[in-house]
């Protein structure tokens, strides 16, 4: 379906009734006058009545909060609209007042094959803001200052974790300007074809973490006989290695020390040697201090996980406001989860900078169709069990809400997984919908701040980048208060998307300047490095 065939060019929800909350507020919200469904903002009981304009709707089925209720009769095979966009077709007749969900609604999205024209919006009015960041020698700016141990292969993962365990909170007081030390470990690195797609994706990811602006110094630890060697990272990913058996490496500007367990004499010898090396790296990283820098240095990773029926009308649009502000500052905002763009890709295509950018996105959509078909699947086998329990029915519905995180500016670039995010403005990075892998790719690309929305309550952190957790509804925000930073549920209680988004933007600047997020306080982020790689294990 082309953008011109849709009655609304972008899934921006209509405002909730301003200032109305509590029992007297309307129990549903209609997002677009073309919609045949409204969203319950609190549970609806059988027999309950509510008014949509001049129409009185009597509830036929119990409707959980966040779920859809039909506000008029819908014929079998009729397109069902939400956000003013088709989210699927009715699989059976649906009477007014009925629950609209998986039992009577199926996905019917047909993606574009090629873009022939785009209509990018005008650039936003420039915005001048600053934050306190760590300026690196290459000019990039970090929002945190970590030391990272990167394992080139799963065989060296345990050594990396053993070394990190030696630097507890008490010992780390010696380096007050360092936020911490973490290990980027994984399950592969060997048993793959040299130079293959899988090898390239892993190499980009490892190099991206080793060179990340939030990493003041890094140590690469390998076994010694794997495919992802230091030489490969040096040749293909601009890592400048120093390999030595000395007690402490002689560091040169722009270089990264590399240790192999086989050369060092095994596990115990490697841990002892690495501990001394890390002390040197901590001394180096500790020399960095925060200075005032332009917000153009912010690179924002946009993520949603454990979404519900509120996500696309509260949290995600509010994050879209933040994305627009970051772009207006000259920074970068990156959407990903290609399988959760499918169904809404036409909206990004229509606002792409040019047809080349648009067709790069469509090429990624087409790749995913072929990729999942190899395993007998389809790209629309989403939402998850939790998403459906929260009110989402089809991938198109989920994607329309997810894409609202991107705001309203032009799409400037499409990146392969873990590629450097080097174009100012809004971008899309190809990734799966699995949150840890999706965020890992954007961080490897250079994102230095994560905005993560959730409706069901995803508990997520991501060293070395602070992850701001945003609840889509107030009930979950209160229930998981220790894990959530911000509450977009206030939008459903009368606050405007714009006001809440502006508040989130100010909070993001404070976090970029060092204010700790909930996941950082809890110490989450050591197990969320999950590189996505495509290819056989040999």
What percent of the chain is predicted at pLDDT more than 90?
A: 83
Model confidence at 11, pLDDT cuts 50, 70, 90, reads: very low
- CB–CB of 186/530 below 8 Å? yes
343's tokens:
């169904």
* Whole-number Cα distances in Å, 528 to 336, 454, 519: 17, 17, 12
- CB–CB of 155/190 below 8 Å? yes
Q: How far apart are CA 339 and CA 375, in angstroms?
A: 15
Q: How far apart are CA 117 and CA 139, in angstroms?
A: 36
Residue 477: strand, helix, or coil = helix
Write out pLDDT tens, residues 158-173.
999 999 999 999 999 9
pLDDT of residue 110: 87
DSSP run (H or E) holding 504: helix 497-512
Identify any residues that bridge with 243 across adjacent strands, giving them in sequence order.
258
- CB–CB of 290/174 below 8 Å? no
Query: Regarding the domain delimited by 146-285, which CATH topology (the fold level of the hierarchy) does it fall under?
Result: Ribose 5-phosphate Isomerase B; Chain: A, (3.40.1400)
**pTM for this predicted structure:** 0.93
Is the pLDDT score of 8 beyond 70?
A: no
Instruction: State the average pLDDT over residues 57-62.
Output: 96
Residue 43, phi then psi, degrees to nearest 5: -60, 140
- CB–CB of 351/404 below 8 Å? no
57's tokens:
């709707």
Write out pLDDT tens, residues 352-390.
999 999 999 999 999 999 999 999 888 876 678 888 888
Is the pLDDT score of 138 beyond 80?
A: yes
- 256-279 exposure pattern, b = at least 16 Cβ within 10 A, e = fewer: bbbbbbebbeeeeebbebbeebbb
Q: How far apart are CA 11 and CA 55, in angstroms?
A: 24
Residue listed under structure tokens 């309307």:
26
- CB–CB of 259/226 below 8 Å? no
Identify any residues that bridge with 38 across adjacent strands, giving them in sequence order.
69
Write out pLDDT tens, residues 407-451.
999 999 999 999 999 999 999 999 999 999 999 999 999 999 999
Q: How far apart are CA 55 and CA 38, in angstroms?
A: 13
426's tokens:
């809004």
Cis amide leading into 360 (omega within 30)? no
Alpha carbon 534 to its chain centroid, in Å, reads 19
Is the pLDDT score of 2 beyond 70?
A: no
Residue 30: strand, helix, or coil = coil
Instruction: State the average pLDDT over residues 69-87.
Output: 96
Is the pLDDT score of 469 beyond 60?
A: yes
DSSP letter for 283, please. Answer: H
- Give residue limits of the domains in the chain: 146-285, 298-522
pLDDT of residue 254: 73
Rounded mean pLDDT of the chain?
92
């Amino acid at each position: 379906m082309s953008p011109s065939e849709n009655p609304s060019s972008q899934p921006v929800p209509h405002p909730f009734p301003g200032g109305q909350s509590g029992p007297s507020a309307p129990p549903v919200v209609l997002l677009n006058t073309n919609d045949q469904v409204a969203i319950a903002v609190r549970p609806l009981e059988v027999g309950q009545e509510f008014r949509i304009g001049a129409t009185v709707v009597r509830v036929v089925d119990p409707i959980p909060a966040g779920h859809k209720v039909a506000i008029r009769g819908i014929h079998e095979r009729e397109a069902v609209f939400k956000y003013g966009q088709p989210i699927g077709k009715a699989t059976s007749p649906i009477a007014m007042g009925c629950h609209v969900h998986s039992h009577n609604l199926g996905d019917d999205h047909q993606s574009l094959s090629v873009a022939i024209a785009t209509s990018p919006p005008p650039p936003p009015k420039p915005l001048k803001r600053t934050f306190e960041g760590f300026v690196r020698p290459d000019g990039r700016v970090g929002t945190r200052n970590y030391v990272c141990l990167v394992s080139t292969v799963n065989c060296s993962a345990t050594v990396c974790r053993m070394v990190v365990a030696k630097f507890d909170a008490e010992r780390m007081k010696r380096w007050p300007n360092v936020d911490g030390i973490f290990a980027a470990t994984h399950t592969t690195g060997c048993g793959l074809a040299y130079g293959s797609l899988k090898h390239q994706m892993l190499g980009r990811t490892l190099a991206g973490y080793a060179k990340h602006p939030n990493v003041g110094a890094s140590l690469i630890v390998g076994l010694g006989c794997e495919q992802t060697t230091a030489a490969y990272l040096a040749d293909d990913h601009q890592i400048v290695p120093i390999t030595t058996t000395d007690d402490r490496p002689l560091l040169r500007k722009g270089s990264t020390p590399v240790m192999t367990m086989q050369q060092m004499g095994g596990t115990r010898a490697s841990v002892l040697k690495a501990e001394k090396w890390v002390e040197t790296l901590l001394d180096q990283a500790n020399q960095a201090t925060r200075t005032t820098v332009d917000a153009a240095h912010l690179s924002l990773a946009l993520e949603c996980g454990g979404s519900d029926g509120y996500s696309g009308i509260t949290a995600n649009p509010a994050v879209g406001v933040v994305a627009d502000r970051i772009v207006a500052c000259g920074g970068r905002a990156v959407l990903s989860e290609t399988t959760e763009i499918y169904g809404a890709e036409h909206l990004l295509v229509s606002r792409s900078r040019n047809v080349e950018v648009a067709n790069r996105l469509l090429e990624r959509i087409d790749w995913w169709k072929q990729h999942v078909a190899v395993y007998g699947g389809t790209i629309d086998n989403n939402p998850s069990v939790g998403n459906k329990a929260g009110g989402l029915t089809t991938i198109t519905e989920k994607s329309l809400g997810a894409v609202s995180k991107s705001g309203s500016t032009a799409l400037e670039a499409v990146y392969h997984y873990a590629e450097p995010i080097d174009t100012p403005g809004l971008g899309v990075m190809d990734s799966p919908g699995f949150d840890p892998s999706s965020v890992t790719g954007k961080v490897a690309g250079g994102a230095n701040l994560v905005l993560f929305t959730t409706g069901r309550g995803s508990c997520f952190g991501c060293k070395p980048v602070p992850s701001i957790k945003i609840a889509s509804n107030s009930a979950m925000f209160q229930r998981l208060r220790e894990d959530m930073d911000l509450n977009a549920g206030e939008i459903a209680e009368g606050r405007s998307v714009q006001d809440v988004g502006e508040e989130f933007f100010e909070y993001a600047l404070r976090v970029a300047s060092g204010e700790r997020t909930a996941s950082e306080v809890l110490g989450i982020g050591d197990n969320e490095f999950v590189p996505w790689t495509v290819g056989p294990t040999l």
